[in-house]
């Protein structure tokens, strides 16, 4: 099952600084919600156990996140892939930064989900993902603005 | 807009015409339905009532869809209200039960039968979502035969006092007002009242949470123990309460039929996604012919019922323009029964087939289709059982002298 989400966020920080933070696995590690056993593997990847709670059901997926600085200083691709609790998930997200002293981040994410979670259907998972993405970006924005 | 709903809206616009403000109501319904997906799922899995439904419908200005604009509503005709409920029905019958009772059985009963003063007093609050209606016809000993209800009233100096039990009442514990039906303690003729649920003597005796489905909808057993009702809150004509009840049920049955269309649409969407992505025996299960048989059934049911429901709504709109015409009333009554009867049965069978297409996961309420299987079952019972609908439809053909329930 596939999901596509996209959006944009404003950050009160210079674009170059935002880029360096969001492509740094050590920084990204601090912004991941509901993450456990986070290990930065090298300068472009990390591993973590991500807990997902949908209604009364909790799942835990062991994910590897790889950051590809395809075209700095504005654009990067983050690929997160992993399995757990009968589901497999691969999320490819691309962000592009514009601005100078403050930054607009345009992003898109494509998720490929199989297993138990896929059975819940894209209508529902898109609803959950939208809520989760809001939570993630609130966390990222707060962390970036604090660090910038 | 959601794809299948968009096709309904496009088709209705092309054939019947929809004005801009009407499309705006439907866009709001579409947004509300999207917003309700997550909370309905979460609460369903927890088997809990979903308070978000009221909040979301308020936020999208959907609590007064059929209420006249001068009372703060959207002034939508039945056809637009039906389309609204069709879209909300995709989220499940829990949402429909709440909305149908509040809009079709409550708000419209007051709009159709209330005095100007009652309309001024109740409809603006209802349209804002500050007032929520429940409909108190069913009793422990009076289901399909409402004329046998036992709740009674006595007159006192300033109005009336009601005593009795109301059973299986949707929105019962959250309503601000109950449209209650009662007979005089010393005489014949049922009368409708608008009861303030905060009055002394009104109590929610039991929240009925042991249902086999419909978890996100509130269902209660209510007790009225000498509840005072002012004379201004008698609805319609004293002794003619069953006319109020039956007329409200015409609205309600069309609404339930509309909700069931939404159920079938969601089943079709979910089945399409599931069967085109799940691989068994080396190919997507949608490529197996026996799965295609289920897909064909759901699609055919949806298309068949869609126009039954729209036709009932159109007839109801004609009747609303001339409520003195007995032929129009009889036609609206018959077509609402046909729409509800066919749509609820088709929704239940479609949900059953959707569960089948989902296999083992479909048997879990974690799946998106199990709730439709559990919840659409009640649509074959409430607001007139399958059997009562059959008798009503048959007698509309054969003539009143053949009414089997007389």
In chain A, where are the structural domains located? Answer: 2-147
CATH number at residue B32: 1.10.540.10
Q: Which of B4, B34, B35, B37 to mutate to test the interface with A (most CBs of A within 10 A)?
A: B37
Residue B273 to residue A1, Cβ atoms within 8 A: yes
Residue B298 · residue B351 · CB < 8 Å: no
Q: Got the DSSP string for A97-111? A: EEESSSEEEEEEEEE
Q: Which residues of B touch A57 (CB under 8 A)?
A: 45, 366
Q: What is the CA radius of gyration of chain B?
A: 21
Listed residues B177, B208, B235: the one ending a domain: B235
Interface of B with A in 380-399 (CB under 8 A): none
State the catalytic residues of B.
383
Q: Which residues of B touch A123 (CB under 8 A)?
A: 37, 266, 269-270, 368
Question: What is the model's pLDDT at position B72?
Answer: 98
pLDDT, tens only, B247-271: 999 999 999 999 999 999 999 999 9
Listed residues B67, B98, B132: the one ending a domain: B132
- Integer Cα distance of B244 and B113 in angstroms: 7
B256 & B387 share domain? yes
Identify how many contiguous H helices and E strands chain B contains and give both numbers: 12, 10
Tell how strand B177-184 and strand B152-156 pair up.
parallel
B361 & B248 share domain? yes
B262 & B395 share domain? yes
Number of domains forming the structure of chain B: 3
Q: Which of A86, A124, A128 to mutate to test the interface with B (most CBs of B within 10 A)?
A: A124
Size of interface A-B (CB pairs under 8 A): 48
- Integer Cα distance of A106 and A7 in angstroms: 6
Min Cα–Cα distance to chain B from A84, Å: 17
pLDDT, tens only, B119-140: 999 999 999 999 999 999 999 9
Q: CB-CB: which of A55, A116, A122 is closest to B273? A: A122
Q: CB-CB: which of A55, A57, A121 is closest to B273? A: A121
Q: CB-CB: which of A118, A127, A128 is closest to B277? A: A118
pLDDT, tens only, B169-225: 999 999 999 999 999 998 789 999 999 999 999 999 999 999 999 999 999 999 999
B285 & B321 share domain? yes
B231 & B284 share domain? no
Q: Measured between CB atoms, does A53 come within 8 Å of chain B?
A: no
Q: Which residues of B touch A124 (CB under 8 A)?
A: 37-38, 41, 368
pLDDT over 90 for what percent of chain B? 98
Q: Which residues of B touch A55 (CB under 8 A)?
A: 41-42, 44-46, 366
- Per-residue pLDDT, averaged over B269-278, amounts to 96
Q: Give the list of residues 6+ apart from residue B113 with CB closer than 8 angstroms, or none.
A: B192, B235, B236, B244, B247
For residue B274, the chain A residue with the least C-alpha distance is A119
pLDDT over 70 for what percent of chain B? 100
Interface of B with A in 271-330 (CB under 8 A): 273-274, 277
Q: Measured between CB atoms, does B367 come within 8 Å of chain A?
A: yes
B283 & B391 share domain? yes
Which tokens belong to B193? 């009242």
Listed residues B193, B219, B235: the one ending a domain: B235
Question: What is the model's pLDDT at position B341?
Answer: 98
Q: CB-CB: which of A1, A123, A128 is closest to B277? A: A1
pLDDT, tens only, B311-368: 999 999 999 999 999 999 999 999 999 999 999 999 999 999 999 999 999 999 999 9
Which tokens belong to B3? 């794809």
| Residue span of the structural domain in which B221 resides | 134-235
Q: Measured between CB atoms, does B154 come within 8 Å of chain A?
A: no
- Integer Cα distance of B165 and B142 in angstroms: 10
B125 & B110 share domain? yes
Question: What is the model's pLDDT at position B25?
Answer: 98
- Per-residue pLDDT, averaged over B370-382, amounts to 98
Which tokens belong to B375? 């919840």
Task: Name the residue among B211, B247, B228, B3 with its Cα closest to residue B94.
Answer: B211
Min Cα–Cα distance to chain A from B363, Å: 12
B335-346 as b/e: b if 16+ CB within 10 A? bbbbbbbbbbbb
Residue B368 to residue A124, Cβ atoms within 8 A: yes
Helix B289-321 to helix B241-277 angle (10° resolution) is 150
B64-81 as b/e: b if 16+ CB within 10 A? bbbbeeebbbbbbbbbbb
- Per-residue pLDDT, averaged over B19-24, amounts to 97
Question: What is the model's pLDDT at position B130?
Answer: 98
Q: What ipTM score was computed for the predicted complex, to two decimals?
A: 0.82
Q: Where are the alpha helices (DSSP H) in B278-376?
A: 289-321, 326-358, 370-376
- Written as tens digits, the pLDDT of chain A (148 aa) is 899 999 999 999 999 999 999 999 999 999 888 899 999 999 999 999 999 888 777 889 999 999 998 777 789 999 999 999 999 999 999 999 999 889 999 999 999 999 989 999 999 999 888 888 888 888 888 999 998 7
Min Cα–Cα distance to chain B from A89, Å: 15
- Integer Cα distance of B26 and B38 in angstroms: 20
- Integer Cα distance of B260 and A121 in angstroms: 20
- The pTM of this model reads 0.92
Lowest mean per-residue pLDDT among A43-57, B41-55, B87-101, B123-137? A43-57
B88 & B105 share domain? yes
B367 & B263 share domain? yes
Residue A54 to residue B42, Cβ atoms within 8 A: yes
Q: Give the list of residues 6+ apart from residue A117 with CB closer than 8 angstroms, or none.
A: A52, A54, A59, A85, A86, A87, A89, A125
Residue B158 · residue B165 · CB < 8 Å: no
Helix B289-321 to helix B326-358 angle (10° resolution) is 160
B310 & B214 share domain? no
B322 & B376 share domain? yes
Q: What CATH number does the domain located at A2-147 have?
A: 3.30.530.20
Min Cα–Cα distance to chain B from A127, Å: 6
Q: Which helix (H) or strand (E) holds B213?
A: none
Lowest mean per-residue pLDDT among B104-108, B186-190, B303-307? B186-190
Mean pLDDT of chain B, nearest integer:
97
Identify the three-state secondary structure at position B282: coil
Min Cα–Cα distance to chain B from A118, Å: 8
- Integer Cα distance of B366 and B59 in angstroms: 28
Question: What is the model's pLDDT at position B84?
Answer: 98
Question: What is the model's pLDDT at position A139?
Answer: 87
Cα-flanking dihedrals φ and ψ of residue B282, to 5°? 80, 5
B254 & B393 share domain? yes
Q: Which helix (H) or strand (E) holds A14?
A: none
């Amino acid at each position: 099952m596939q999901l596509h989400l996209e959006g944009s966020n404003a950050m009160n920080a210079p674009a170059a600084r935002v880029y360096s933070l969001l492509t740094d696995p050590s920084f990204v590690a601090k912004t991941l919600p509901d993450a456990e056993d986070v290990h930065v593997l090298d300068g472009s990847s990390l591993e973590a156990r991500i807990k997902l709670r949908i209604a009364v059901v909790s799942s835990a997926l062991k994910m590897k996140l790889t950051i590809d600085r395809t075209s700095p200083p504005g654009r990067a691709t983050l690929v997160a892939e992993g399995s757990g609790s009968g589901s497999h998930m691969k999320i490819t997200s691309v962000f592009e930064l514009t601005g100078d002293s403050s930054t607009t981040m345009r992003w898109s994410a494509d998720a490929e989900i199989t297993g138990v979670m896929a059975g819940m259907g894209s209508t529902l998972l898109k609803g959950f993902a939208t809520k989760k993405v809001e939570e993630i970006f609130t966390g990222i924005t707060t962390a970036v603005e604090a660090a910038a | 807009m959601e794809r299948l709903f968009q096709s309904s809206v496009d088709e209705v616009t092309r054939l019947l015409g929809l004005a801009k403000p009407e499309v705006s109501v439907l866009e709001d319904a579409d947004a509300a339905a999207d917003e309700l997906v997550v909370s309905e799922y979460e609460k369903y899995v927890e088997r809990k009532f979903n308070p978000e439904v009221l909040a979301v419908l308020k936020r999208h200005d959907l609590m007064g869809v059929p209420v006249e604009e001068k009372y703060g509503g959207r002034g939508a005709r039945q056809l637009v209200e039906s389309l609204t409920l069709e879209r909300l029905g995709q989220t499940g019958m829990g949402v429909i039960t709440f909305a149908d009772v509040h809009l079709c059985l409550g708000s419209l009963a007051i709009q159709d039968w209330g005095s100007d003063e009652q309309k001024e007093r109740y409809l603006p609050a209802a349209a804002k979502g500050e007032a929520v209606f429940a409909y108190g016809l069913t009793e422990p000993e009076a289901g399909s035969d409402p004329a046998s209800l036992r709740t009674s009233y006595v007159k006192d100096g300033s109005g009336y006092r009601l005593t009795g039990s109301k059973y299986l009442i949707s929105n019962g514990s959250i309503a601000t007002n109950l449209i209650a039906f009662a007979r005089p303690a010393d005489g014949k003729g049922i009368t409708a009242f608008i009861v303030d649920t905060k009055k002394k003597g009104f109590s929610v005796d039991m929240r009925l949470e042991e249902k086999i489905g419909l978890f996100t909808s509130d269902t209660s057993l209510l007790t009225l123990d000498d509840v005072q009702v002012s004379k201004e809150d008698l609805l319609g004509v004293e002794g003619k309460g069953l006319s109020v009840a039956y007329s409200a049920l015409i609205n309600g049955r069309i609404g339930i039929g509309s909700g069931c269309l939404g159920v079938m649409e969601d089943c079709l969407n979910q089945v399409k996604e599931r069967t085109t992505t799940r691989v068994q025996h080396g190919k997507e299960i949608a490529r197996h012919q026996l799965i295609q048989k289920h897909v064909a059934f759901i699609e055919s049911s949806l298309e068949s019922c869609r126009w039954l429901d729209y036709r009932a709504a159109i007839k109801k709109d004609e009747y609303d323009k001339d409520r003195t015409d007995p032929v129009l009333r009889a036609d609206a009554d018959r077509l609402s029964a046909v729409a509800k009867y066919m749509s609820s049965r088709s929704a239940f069978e479609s949900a059953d087939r959707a569960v089948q297409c989902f296999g083992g996961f479909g048997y879990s309420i974690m799946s998106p289709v199990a709730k439709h299987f559990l919840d659409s079952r009640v649509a074959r019972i409430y607001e007139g059982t399958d059997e009562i609908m059959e008798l009503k439809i048959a007698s509309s053909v054969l003539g009143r002298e053949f009414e089997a329930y007389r």
